[in-house]
């Protein structure tokens, strides 16, 4: 089991934290990985006591390996990621019983320091069934973002999910990165050059991220990026938002990521770009390709 790819699910003992478990289980099935639960507190618990403490009377943890550790939660989670060579961390963004547009301190520290991608789950989704049928991928048109999103495209392919790539045009114009794709000139009149632009945009993505066997839809939106991402996720019944992040958390960086994480009603997968940490964008899902 120790050689099998692992998804780590931190559980703090709250009922809210269990919302991450259905998401982790589905991702484990898609990527052929095992799921392991981790509880960090002031006292190490025995197996029976641990399971009773975490399950809250539900069978959701049945068959799931659980580990108890003592120490600072974020530090022990990160230690476990390293020791288990975890491919993914799936956890709730906070464990408050009421809805809150805030990230928990532990979740924030894990995002900033984890050596693997992280999925943050809104606790209000509960422990109901989760399916991966629609993946929303905001794209700023840069080659760096395209390269970071390869795992998301592979995930969509294996799940047979639709991949919705959304380019949000901003007033400040084109990103400064060399090779960035420009927004159509007539953004308010898409009939002028939208067909050719969308085809070229898809080709640009495909040149860095193979799109074999993936159902892809490209759209263009205009406005404040975080608000447009959240609007699209709601109107399109998105199951998973995938965000590429350049690895800087201090103000004024990561403002789009922070806004989406605080308000998204679906899980958010964070992929750190190779621009800062090459190894952190390595979500190595086992490919199960279908015949073309």
In the predicted model, is pLDDT for residue 217 greater than 60?
Answer: yes
In the predicted model, is pLDDT for residue 224 greater than 50?
Answer: yes
The domain made up of 134-281 has a fold known as Rossmann fold (3.40.50)
Rounded-to-integer distance, Cα 275 and Cα 279, Å: 10
Domain 6-124 class, CATH top level: alpha beta
Over residues 147-198, the pLDDT tens digits come to 777 888 888 888 999 999 888 766 555 555 555 555 555 445 554 555 666 6
Domain map (residue ranges) of the chain: 6-124, 134-281
Q: Which residue has the higher pLDDT, 119 or 179?
A: 119
Q: Which residue has the higher pLDDT, 95 or 106?
A: 106
Place 246 in a pLDDT band, splitting at 50, 70 and 90.
confident
Cα separation values, 171 from 95, 184, 214, Å? 36, 13, 31
> pLDDT value at position 175?
55
The secondary structure of residue 176, as a DSSP letter, is S
**Residues with Cβ within 8 Å of residue 132, at least 6 apart in sequence:** 26, 27, 30, 155, 159, 161, 239, 240
In the predicted model, is pLDDT for residue 131 greater than 70?
Answer: yes
- Report the first-to-last Cα separation within the chain, whole angstroms: 33
Q: Which residue has the higher pLDDT, 208 or 50?
A: 50
Preceding omega of 252 cis (within 30 degrees of 0): yes
> pLDDT value at position 5?
92
Give me the phi and psi of 121, to 5 degrees please: -110, 130
In the predicted model, is pLDDT for residue 287 greater than 50?
Answer: no
Over residues 4-25, the pLDDT tens digits come to 899 999 999 999 999 999 999 9
6-124 matches 134-281 in fold: yes
């Amino acid at each position: 089991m120790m050689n099998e790819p692992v998804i780590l699910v931190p559980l703090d003992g709250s009922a809210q934290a269990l919302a991450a478990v259905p998401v982790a289980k589905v991702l484990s099935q898609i990527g052929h990985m095992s799921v392991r639960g981790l509880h960090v507190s002031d006292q190490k618990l025995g197996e029976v006591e641990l399971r009773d403490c975490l399950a809250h009377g539900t069978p959701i943890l049945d068959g799931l390996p659980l580990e108890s550790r003592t120490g600072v939660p974020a530090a022990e989670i990160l230690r476990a990621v390293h020791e288990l060579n975890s491919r993914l961390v799936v956890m709730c963004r906070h464990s408050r019983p009421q809805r809150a547009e805030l990230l928990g301190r532990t979740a924030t520290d894990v995002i900033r320091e984890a050596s693997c991608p992280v999925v943050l789950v809104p606790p209000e989704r509960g422990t109901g069934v989760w399916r991966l049928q629609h993946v929303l991928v905001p794209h700023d048109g840069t080659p760096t973002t395209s390269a970071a999103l390869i795992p998301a495209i592979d995930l969509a392919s294996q799940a047979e999910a639709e991949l919705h790539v959304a380019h949000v045009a901003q007033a400040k114009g084109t990103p400064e990165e060399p090779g960035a794709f420009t927004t159509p000139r007539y953004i308010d009149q898409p009939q002028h050059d939208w067909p050719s632009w969308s085809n070229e945009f898809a080709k640009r993505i495909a040149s860095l991220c193979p799109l074999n066997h993936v159902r892809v839809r490209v759209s263009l939106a205009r406005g404040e990026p975080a608000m447009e991402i959240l609007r699209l996720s709601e109107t399109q019944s998105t199951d998973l938002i995938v965000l590429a992040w350049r690895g800087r958390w201090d103000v004024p960086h990561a403002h789009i990521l922070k806004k989406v994480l605080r308000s998204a009603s679906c899980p958010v997968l964070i992929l750190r770009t190779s621009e800062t940490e090459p190894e952190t964008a390595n979500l190595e899902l086992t490919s199960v390709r279908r015949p073309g």
